[in-house]
Every structure is written in C-alpha cells, then in structure tokens.
Amino acid sequence: MTWVWELLRAVVGTVLIFTGVAVVAAMFGVLLERKIAGWIQSRLGPKHVGPQGLLQTIADTLKLLQKENIVPKNADRLIFASAVIVVPLAALLDYVVIPFGTAGGRPLIFRDLNVGVLYFAATSSLVVVGILMAGWGSNNKYALLGGLRSAAQMVSYEIPIGLALITVAMQAGSLSTLAIVNAQTGPGHLWYVLTQPISFLIFLTAATAEVNRTPFDLVEAESELVAGYFSEYTGMRFALFQLGEYGEMFAMAAMAVTLFLGGWHGPGLPSVLWFVIKLYVLIFVFMWVRWTYPRFRIDQLLNFSWKFLIPLALLNLVVTAFFVMVVHG
C-alpha cells in the first residue's frame, strides 16, 4: 500500500501548499505590500475595510470572484485558459523541496530530493512558459510583447540564479536542500551569506527579475504595455496570475533562506518561527526595493545580466571551485 500513502501525502501536501501560498503569500502579502508602500511613500495605505484595513485583501478577492471572465473574440481559448493554471502551478511546485523546520526531530519538507536545487531551478523556470502562453493566446499585441519581454528577461536572469545555486551546492557538496542547511550549522560552520556574499547578492538581484518586480518589471510596464501579458485577463483569472507572482516571490525568498541564511536554525525560538522570521525579512527587502527604485529600460535590464551579473557569477564560481578543490580538498 506504499502507493496509497504516497498519493495521500501528495494530495495533503498540495492542499497545504496551495492554502499557504493563496492565503499567506498572496492575500497577506498584498496587504503587507500595500502597508509597506504607504509607509515608504508617507501615506496611510488601506484603512477602511476592517480594523486598520486588515480585511481589504479579502474584499478585493470577493470583488474579483464576482467579475465576469471575458475571453477575447479571436483568442486561442485553450492556450488562453491553460496559462492561468501553468503560472501558479509552477510557483506551487517550488515548495516541494523547501525545508521549513523540524518537528519531532524530523525535517518539515515534502520531499528531500538529492537534486533538490536542480528541481527548484527547473520548476521556477516554468513560469515563463505560462507567461508566453498568456501573451500568445490573448491575441493582443501588447500582451504578446509582454510575453516576449518575459522570455528575454527571465531566461537572462535564470543563468545567474543557476550559477549562484551551483556555487552554494559546490561548497556544501550536495544538491539536497536539507544537506545545504545542515552544512551551515555546527562548530566551525558559517551561514553561506558570510562565506558566499557575492552569490547571495546575485541570487537576490536575479530573483527580483525572475519574479518581475521593480526595478525589473519590464514584463508589466504599465506606461508601455497597459498590463503586459495579462492585459486581457479579468476576474479570478487575473487574480491567479497575481497568486503565481507572489507565490514565486515567497518561494525565491524561502530558497534564499535555505541556501544562505542557515534555513530554520537559530537560538531559542522554534525552528519554524526562525524560518518565518528570516523569510519575511527577505520579503521586506523585495518590497522595499520595489517602492524605492525606478524601472530599468529593456536594454539596461539585459545588459546588466549578460555583461555584469553572469561574468561576476562565473568568476565567483571559479574562485569557489579553487578553494573547494585546492585549499580545502
């Protein structure tokens, strides 16, 4: 009956991940960003729905549920509808290999894969497929342009993310996320944010571009593209794209905690609480950057990746390989 247990585990895991991403990452994340944006811009933010505006996101969700789902007349209906599933699904798949803490001496992770880092890189890159599907299927030139920009941007920034992941895996000696967390604990071991600060900065910068956030939100540049690849989406279809974006942002932050900040480890507090604290510190950084810096031009965006981030990541990889193989080997 092993297959029954695995099936049950998969179903329960899917429900938990979707609930966590939909409620915590999306609904609470949107409210948090509005409040942080208000604070940075010296305004109040949401105040009217619920105490201090705490129910504003719920009200917005109810409003979106009542909106009509419109399909453009000449759109490819199958691709148009499928894109809505691919984007949030890709974000949900990222959480399979992220360890959230321990309970009863066992790690809280859905699946400890020996290629967990590689799996994360593969699933996070699926978002661009859904975005391209949305742009093509909408039969809208602005949506198509947004999708093509997405392909150029996300493929460009997946390379420095991959190089940063390889660098950390090389130092830890494993592609397993659990092994990487454990390699940062114990006597004589430091968090990789201290031993790999360049990889940490490269990962955060490229992750910002990967989740299409300012100053790298060329996919959804309102001044040029209306709303980019989801210009033609309404109601909950529009909300599902936002769910995928926020889910991917939380997944990137969670992976950064796992790779560079010692995962769930910390003194005194429960392991899951430590993980959440570190996670929201990075989420705050993502939001802080969004409401502080202006948008790049498309040529600046691509040049920054190909001419600066990728050469820097390659140099850092070579230096790390030298120390791992020669100095410590």
Note the pLDDT tens digit of each residue in 171-221. Answer: 988 899 999 998 888 777 788 999 899 999 999 999 998 888 878 877 766
Rounded to two decimals, what is the model's pTM? 0.89
User: What confidence score (pLDDT) does residue 309 get?
Assistant: 92
Residues 154 and 125: beta-carbon distance below 8 Å: yes
Give buried/exposed letters for 202-227 (b at 16+ CB in 10 A, else e). Answer: bbbbbbbbbbbbbbbbbbbbeeebeb
Residues 6+ apart with CB under 8 A from 116: 97, 175, 176, 177, 178
DSSP codes, 111-137: ---TTHHHHHHHHHTTHHHHHHHHHHH
What tokens appear for 3 in the block?
Answer: 């297959």
Q: What average pLDDT is seen over the chain?
A: 84
Position 65 pLDDT exceeds 60: yes
Mean pLDDT is lowest, of 59-63, 146-150, 170-174, 221-225, for 221-225
What tokens appear for 114 in the block?
Answer: 């020996």
